[in-house]
Chains A and B, each alone.
Chain A
Amino acid sequence: MYPLFLLTMLTLLTLGLAQRFGQLRDTTLVIAASLVSGVVFLAAHPALGWLAEQPEEGSCGLEGEDDLAIRVERISVAAAQALLADETVTFVDARSSGDYTSAHIPGAVSLPASDAAGILEIQSVPILPDGQVVTYCDGGTCEQSEYLGVLLRDREVCKQVFVLEGGWAAWVDASAPTVSGEDQDGSISIGTASPSPSEPCEPSESPTEARG
């Protein structure tokens, strides 16, 4: 009902303005021409069908909002921090590999959502059967973490998939622990010297500057 309500309000607004300024006929003409052109374009376009592919009825949908296509539950930074020590929880970094190397959440797996290779590697992410997944990205211009969450739906772990609210930027703002380096646990702790390979990497408490 929400889209129908919006469409009705938009139509009423347009026609009301047109009526007020004596442009009802011309406005109707412009709208009708656009509608006809759009429908013809849709019919003629080889890659665009009349209807989009209907999203699967997955557990990613929130109750009462069945018409929403992509919806993965959010988790706050504080709640996610509490899961850091939980070995059944996998953090997935959806940012670019460069951003990941620069700094990431301790233990996070790099899976760049904008990278085809990253998407393919989703099958290799170690997720325990009863485990949970927290995805995150820049917090700026990214829907990648949510996109990854939807992909993870195919692995039937949807009920345990969360998107970090505010993404990486919120994590850094909260001064939550971060590490840097190409490895999950970081080869270099932020603000400290490089640990020797034999020593476990301790996550740093220092915040890093958010990217994006």
Chain B
Amino acid sequence: MSELESIPTDPTWMRAAGWLGRLVAGGVFVYAGVHKLLDPAAFAQDIANYQAFPWWTWNLAAAVVPMVEILAGLAVLTGFKRRAGAIVLGSLTIAFLGLIASVIFRGIDLDCGCFGEVAEASAVGWPLFFRDLGLLAAILAAALPTEPRRA
């Protein structure tokens, strides 16, 4: 029995929170991943703008990161490999938080590229940091057990 399964659950509010978390986290990441894949070259440029990665990683990251978002997001949305998807999304969001903080403290002024070039760009700053923290909370909720603990 895993750790999460041993947590006492309330079948009402916890299941509701779990479903809400799955919808929010899964939906946001699938949406973001698809939009990035629509224009991967622009996303590669966004990655370059962060000034944190060597040039030879830009295109690979521009293809792999959206795929991670889509597959893990679908896992969370559909419930197939849900917790594994939530763990991957959680780690990715923690990495994003670190990257955002690094950009803020380095004083770089750029668009986040969070949803590719299709959606309206958000500036990298504290509002984005807190938005990602909210997303992390949704991911945690999505990882909650869906079945009540057996007595």
B63 touches A45 (CB 8 A): yes
**Pairs A–B under 8 Å by Cβ, sample size 15:** A10-B91, A10-B92, A13-B91, A26-B84, A30-B81, A34-B64, A42-B59, A42-B63, A50-B59, A52-B59, A70-B49, A71-B51, A140-B109, A142-B110, A143-B109
B: residues with CB less than 8 A from A are 2-4, 37, 40-41, 44, 48-49, 51-60, 62-68, 70-72, 75, 81, 83-85, 87-88, 90-92, 94-95, 98, 107-111, 121-123, 143
Instruction: Name the contact of B52 in the complex, choosing from A3, A20, A41 (C-beta under 8 A).
Output: A3
Grouping DSSP codes into helix (H, G, I), strand (E, B) and loop, the B interface class, with mixed when no group exceeds half, is: helix
Q: For residue A191, give the distance in angstroms from its CB to the closest CB of chain B.
A: 28
How far is it, in angstroms, between the C-alpha of A51 and the C-alpha of B63 when the chains are bound? Answer: 11
| A interface residues, tally (CB under 8 Å) | 50
A200 beta carbon closer than 8 Å to chain B:
no
Question: Which chain B residues lie closer than 8 Å to A27 at the CB level?
Answer: 84, 87-88
In chain A between 153 and 180, which residues have their CB closer than 8 angstroms to a CB of chain B?
A: 165, 167
Q: For residue A211, give the distance in angstroms from its CB to the closest CB of chain B.
A: 13
Question: Which chain B residues lie closer than 8 Å to A193 at the CB level?
Answer: none
Question: Which chain B residues lie closer than 8 Å to A23 at the CB level?
Answer: 2, 83-84, 87
- Given contacts A14-B91, A38-B68, 4 further A-B pairs with CB under 8 A are A10-B94, A34-B72, A52-B56, A70-B48
